[in-house]
Structure 1
Amino acid sequence: MSDLIKLGIGERPWLPTPSTEIVEVFGRYNMPITGLIKQDDKLFVFDCVEGHVMAGNVWVYAHVDANEAQRLQEAHGDEFPRLFDEAFTGKRIMVALAVNTRIRSGAPVEDEAIKQVGLLKAIFDQLADGLDSANETKNAMEQLVNC
């Protein structure tokens, strides 16, 4: 069974499926931007890593076990950012692109890619690959329509 979160196109990034529940919000900016959620009896941390005040933004999700979640919930001061960063380390994560607070697309990002180029570059590369694929599909459909 996968430890990747499920994403629903059109859902809110902090509640990526109708059955997802918020456990705790760690940070807000007109919306929850950092927190802990539960989906299908699994816990996940989420973070809006880019575009907090823009129409488009990028979100990441990582599975955490109950002990990791508890440590995050009980963390104070400088301990919290360290533990939160660790929650995304050494794991395959899910990235989502949202526009106007609705998920538009998502894809997994492998730990190896993150180790090689860093989190933000690995996310950007994955999103760019997805956009390239979508553009190729659009062009192919356009050719079919115009035949």
Structure 2
Amino acid sequence: MSIWDIYAVLHTTGPLNKIFQNVEQNNRNLPPIIYTTAVWLEASDGSDDNSNLELGLGDFIFFSVLVGKSFASGDVLMAIICFISVLVGLAITLFILLIKNFPLPALPISITMGLLAHFTAKYFIIPFNDSLQNKLIFI
């Protein structure tokens, strides 16, 4: 899914580029598939810079599915770890987006971090925590 997101956003024949070209050619409004928010940054010369951050609504769905799958596994700690890692990945993506000012796919960093956190929690953190609880050692 992350590979498709990279293609869709960055490649010249990707669907997102085709949508943007169609919108520009026909002078129409962008369809409601992108969540846009304004970010005000203070430039080094003291002037205010108004930048828009755009994130596809489909990205929110995949973030929710990953965190929901972690929660459905039955361990709240795993879901919390996965949720925090997805948010950190999203923050990293948005930070890079602010610096580069170029469209970036939101899925690769966040989903990779979320999956790594999910499997790390499932196979290392949760068993370690359970073994400590069996020995009545609480952290």
Q: TM-score, normalised by structure 1?
A: 0.30
Whose radius of gyration is greater, 1 or 2? Answer: 2
Higher helix share: 2
Q: TM-score, normalised by structure 2?
A: 0.31
Higher strand share: 1
